């Protein structure tokens, strides 16, 4: 196989704020000849790639999505010219980013692929809530899962719930009522839950609730995509969780602080 | 509650190489008055914290581990003096880092806690192998789990295997034969598997195998802690996987490339 002299960097652009990029990512952007900007990546990334031709391959703003095959062809074409192509993806490229297909395609074409890790929105969401995803008093791990499967089927929610790991659910907002109902067949409705929209960006919004009331609270507070849904006892350690009005246990707790709004938090009525 | 004027930053130091720090982490280190260096964090972090008093709280080198309660007392003490304490933890602080206990303790003491995300070794391991953790042709997600539980019990391996997510197992090397045997009660022995030691650092070593032979291969190649164990069909997309001698399917594949060593990879005999 002939190796081409260009290369492709699959770059994890993190959840939004530019200072959540890794130093390695910033260096790769500096050296980029071509920057392919994904729909969920911060457009300001282009300011870190002064020498790059910037191509938006996103679908923000109601425009039609750039077909995956076209994006892959772009990467091959520019790399074949000997250029350094940086393909920037929101969050962590190795989590729900179709990186698997792109890596396979580039390898078949004899193109060198470099992968630069980044911060996935699930971790940024936990940081915003001030919780560990794996508080050892509550769970043994965390599962990242997408509610949106390739074949329009759905994950095995009963099997996922049975692990008793914290669940970080991506791309689940459009079917949150259904997802919560399925999980509630295994988990208690009182299980702590949260939604963090635009985690790790200046627009971050957080909502604390419980599994049984999460979908209603999300609708009432007007939360939408992109957002991460977090479910599990570890989420109960979030700052302000006991103040949540939908929490029966908080209402029963005579020592609970009076309810007050916390910066960036939404509380359902 | 009286708020103190100092604060604590729980800083995710990433898997090793300093350029896998986020820009935000580098900025926090620059401003640190006190730097508490965890055992798995790169000691070179101190070079990024020129104004900080550096305190090692690790257990590398056969020394006794610094008790958790003592570390928490140190953080409270320096923050109460109005200092900015940076507590650097290897990998991502919100994954298996006892951050939950530390956040709770600091909040009780009225100390502001800032959390800075980072790259967990499971993601660095996947980058080293050149695989997505969630290749959508193979799985719907990834589960990060520790083999080492607080009460010396063990995770529910059958439940974890039943999710069909990629499994990223931390702190599992000392009991890898047992873990693989338990998982093989649910998963096929031919399930692709890998171990990455010192993922994301200059010393990174990778081993490709399958669930049924992983423990033997790890022993033969002399892999030890710290390492991440990755198990699932998505791992079969790793570069060089088809070259793995323990892979029956590779041996059956007439088109398989001749076996050759790949930089940084170990192959069991």
Distance from CA of A40 to the nearest CA of B (A): 18
Residue B243 is predicted with a pLDDT of 57
Q: Which sequence positions of A are flagged as catalytic?
A: 38, 59, 171
Mean pLDDT of chain B: 87
Chain B nearest C-alpha distance from A252 (Å):
21
Q: In chain B, which residue's Cα lies nearest the Cα of A167?
A: B143
Cα–Cα distance measured from residue B211 to residue B205, given in angstroms and rounded to the nearest whole number = 18
For position A268, what pLDDT does the model report?
A: 38
DSSP B173: G
3-state secondary structure of B146: strand
The percent of residues above 90 in pLDDT, for chain B, comes to 74
In A, minimum Cα distance to B94 occurs at A132
Give the lowest-confidence range in A12-16, A112-116, A125-129, A138-142. A138-142
- The answer to whether the CB atoms of B165 and A142 lie below 8 A apart is no
- Whether B144 contacts chain A with CB within 8 A: yes
- Mean pLDDT, range A30-54, rounded to an integer: 94
**Mean per-residue pLDDT for B232-239?**
93
Q: What is the pLDDT of residues B130-183, one digit of tens each?
A: 999 998 888 889 999 999 877 778 999 999 999 999 999 999 999 999 999 999
- Between chain A and chain B, how many beta carbons pairs sit less than 8 Å apart? 201
Q: How far is A88 from chain B (nearest CA, A)?
A: 15
Here the ipTM equals 0.89
Nearest CA in chain A to B22: A22
**Are the CB atoms for A266 and A232 separated by under 8 Å?**
no
- Cα distance from B219 to chain A (closest Cα, Å)? 26
Q: Is the pLDDT of residue A211 over 70?
A: yes
Q: CB-CB: which of A113, A142, A149 is closest to B95?
A: A142
Mean pLDDT throughout A88-115? 94
| Per-residue pLDDT tens digits for A59-84 | 554 456 678 889 999 999 999 999 99
- Write out pLDDT tens, residues A139-197: 889 999 999 877 778 999 999 999 999 999 999 999 999 999 999 999 999 999 999 99
Under 8 Å CB-to-CB from A90, ≥6 apart: which residues? Answer: A13, A14, A15, A38, A39, A40, A41, A42, A97, A121, A226
Nearest to A141 among B104, B138, B155 (CB): B155
Contact check, Cβ <8 Å, A136/B107: no
Average predicted confidence (pLDDT) for chain A: 87
CB contact under 8 A, A165 and B143: yes
CB of B200 less than 8 A from some CB of A: yes
- The verdict on a CB contact (< 8 Å) between B159 and A163 is yes
* pLDDT average, residue stretch A201-230: 96
pLDDT of residue A244: 52
Closest to A244 in 3D by CA, of A266, A219, A212, A263: A266
Q: Which of B120, B141, B204, B242 to mutate to test the interface with A (most CBs of A within 10 A)?
A: B141
* pLDDT score of A264 more than 70: no
The DSSP secondary-structure symbol of B14 reads: B
* Closest alpha carbon within chain B to A135: B100
Q: Please state, in angstroms and rounded to a whole number, the distance separating the CA atoms of residues B166 and B102.
A: 29
Q: Among A6-20, A147-161, B85-99, B234-248, which stretch is predicted with the lowest mean pLDDT? A: B234-248
**Interface membership of A96 toward B (CB under 8 Å):** yes
Q: Which domains does chain A have, with CATH numbers?
A: 7-116 (3.40.1010.10), 121-263 (3.30.950.10)
pLDDT band at B56 (very low <50, low <70, confident <90, very high): very high
Residue B227: pLDDT band (50, 70, 90) is: very high
Q: Looking at beta carbons, which residues of chain B come within 8 Å of A150?
A: 136-137
């Amino acid at each position: 196989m002939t190796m081409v002299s260009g290369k492709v960097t699959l770059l994890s652009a993190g959840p939004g704020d530019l200072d959540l990029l890794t130093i390695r990512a910033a260096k790769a952007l500096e050296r980029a000849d071509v920057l392919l900007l994904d729909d969920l990546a911060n457009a300001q990334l282009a300011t870190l790639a002064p020498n790059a031709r910037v191509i938006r391959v996103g679908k923000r703003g109601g425009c039609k999505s750039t077909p995956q095959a076209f994006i892959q062809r772009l990467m091959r074409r520019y790399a074949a010219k000997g250029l350094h192509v940086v393909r920037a993806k929101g969050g962590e490229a190795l989590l729900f980013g179709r990186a698997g297909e792109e890596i396979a395609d580039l390898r078949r074409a004899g193109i060198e692929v470099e992968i630069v890790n980044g911060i996935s929105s699930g971790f940024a969401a936990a940081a915003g809530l001030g919780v560990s995803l794996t508080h050892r008093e509550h769970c043994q791990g965390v599962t990242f899962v997408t509610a949106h499967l390739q074949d329009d089927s759905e994950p095995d929610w009963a099997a996922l719930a049975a692990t008793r790991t914290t669940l970080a659910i991506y791309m689940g907002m459009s079917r949150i009522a259904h997802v919560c109902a399925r999980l509630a067949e295994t988990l208690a409705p009182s299980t702590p839950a949260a939604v963090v929209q635009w985690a790790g960006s200046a627009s971050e919004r957080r909502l604390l609730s419980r599994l049984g009331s999460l979908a209603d609270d999300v609708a009432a507070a007007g939360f939408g995509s992109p957002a991460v849904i977090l479910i599990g006892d570890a989420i109960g350690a979030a700052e302000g969780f006991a103040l949540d009005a939908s929490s029966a246990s908080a209402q029963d707790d005579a020592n609970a602080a009076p309810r007050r709004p916390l910066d960036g938090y939404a509380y359902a009525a």
